[in-house]
Amino acid sequence: THFGFQDVPKGEKARRVADVFHSVAARYDVMNDLMSFGIHRFWKFFTTELAGVRSGARVLDIAGGTGDLAARFARQVGSEGEVVLADINASMLRVGRDRMVDRGLGHRVRCVQANAECLPFPDDHFDVVSIAFGLRNVTDKDSALASMQRVLKPGGRLLVLEFSKPRSELLSKAYDLYSFRALPFMGRLVADDADSYRYLAESIRMHPDQDTLRDMMLQAGFDRVKYHNLTGGIVALHIGYKG
Ligand code: SAM
């Protein structure tokens, strides 16, 4: 099955993304650890440390899935704050809600089914909005960035953690080999689902590189946009502010 983006109509892409996440939801956390050798934990730690969330803050984690970021934010905001874990996919959200309860944070995190392209929250509401490994799955990224900008308070910040472009040729070659050969193989072996993991590799390839995403954020109205390359640019964390 070919899961590339450019050759499929918009609604079709959304449907395929939904199928992928319905099918991986139950095994998502374990596959994340396996396929990134646990490094995704470091990328997320770095993100929540840089987010600068204060006690009492309002935070939205969109495309939050099983809630790794939301759980960290819930500890940072304390009992006065508000954390919303939002995702378009009911299966992922269900696993996320269960994980929150398991972590003893069920009362602190509100789970909302929502599309990043048209967020169902008031204007100027959140201090911090984050999206981790989610933007590449969104069909209309410009609408999503505009929607995130709308729900942020003036002075609030957006953090986008996403696969990006490796900085060196050598790393890029090794990474290609890993994601196009090893990932689908492991996907078949562990989850009996090579297609979902082939989709993952392809979606990573088509995602905008560091500078393109920075320009898209500027275009959406964010100020002072900068990024940090993590693990040689395999992943980048972009940060921008609502003026
Ligand atoms: N943020 C989590 C993490 O870092 O582990 C989950 C990332 S997972 C790779 C991508 C998530 O994006 C899935 O849960 C999927 O349902 C969600 N997603 C895809 N398209 C979306 C959209 N348009 N709006 C909101 N969430 C979306």
pLDDT at 224 over 80: yes
How distant, in Å, are the alpha carbons of 60, 167, 219 from that of 240?
Answer: 15, 22, 11
Report how far residue 211's alpha carbon sits from residue 189's, in angstroms, rounded to the nearest whole number: 36
87 CB near ligand 1 (under 6 Å):
yes
Q: Ligand 1, closest atom to CA 92?
A: 14
89 CB near ligand 1 (under 6 Å):
yes
Q: What is the pLDDT of residue 7?
A: 53
Band of residue 212 on the pLDDT scale cut at 50, 70, 90 = very high
* pLDDT tens figures, 78-137: 999 999 999 999 999 999 999 999 999 999 999 999 999 999 999 999 999 999 999 999
Report how far residue 23's alpha carbon sits from residue 15's, in angstroms, rounded to the nearest whole number: 12
67 CB near ligand 1 (under 6 Å):
no
Q: Is residue 89 marked as binding?
A: no
Q: Number of structural domains, the chain?
A: 1
CB of 155 within 8 A of CB of 242? yes
The mean pLDDT of 202-228, rounded to a whole number, is 94
* pLDDT tens figures, 143-157: 999 999 999 999 999
CB of 133 within 8 A of CB of 66? no
* pLDDT tens figures, 168-197: 999 999 988 888 888 888 888 877 888 888
196 CB near ligand 1 (under 6 Å):
no
Instruction: Return mean pLDDT, the chain.
Output: 92
pLDDT at 4 over 50: no
Q: Ligand 1, closest atom to CA 116?
A: 24
Looking at the domain assignment, is residue 7 inside a domain? no
pLDDT at 2 over 50: no
Q: Is residue 32 marked as binding?
A: no
134 CB near ligand 1 (under 6 Å):
yes
Bridge partners, residue 65, by sequence: none
Cα of 143 vs centre of ligand 1, distance in Å, is 16
Report how far residue 167's alpha carbon sits from residue 237's, in angstroms, rounded to the nearest whole number: 14
Which DSSP helix (H) or strand (E) runs through 43? helix 39-50
Looking at the domain assignment, is residue 76 inside a domain? yes
Looking at the domain assignment, is residue 197 inside a domain? no
Looking at the domain assignment, is residue 119 inside a domain? yes
pLDDT at 9 over 80: no
Looking at the domain assignment, is residue 20 inside a domain? yes
Range of the domain at 139: 14-165+208-242
Q: What is the pLDDT of residue 1?
A: 33
Q: Which two tokens stand for residue 9?
A: 């109509």
Q: Is residue 66 marked as binding?
A: yes
Looking at the domain assignment, is residue 178 inside a domain? no
Q: What is the CATH number of the domain that holds 61?
A: 3.40.50.150
Q: Whose CA is nearest to atom 10 of ligand 1?
A: 134
Q: Is residue 201 marked as binding?
A: no
Report how far residue 105's alpha carbon sits from residue 107's, in angstroms, rounded to the nearest whole number: 6
CB of 183 within 8 A of CB of 175? no
pTM: 0.93
Q: What is the pLDDT of residue 44?
A: 98
Cα of 119 vs centre of ligand 1, distance in Å, is 14
Looking at the domain assignment, is residue 105 inside a domain? yes
117 CB near ligand 1 (under 6 Å):
yes
**Ligand 1 pocket mutation pick from 88, 109, 160, 197 by most atoms within 8 angstroms of CB:** 88
CB of 57 within 8 A of CB of 76? yes
Looking at the domain assignment, is residue 170 inside a domain? no
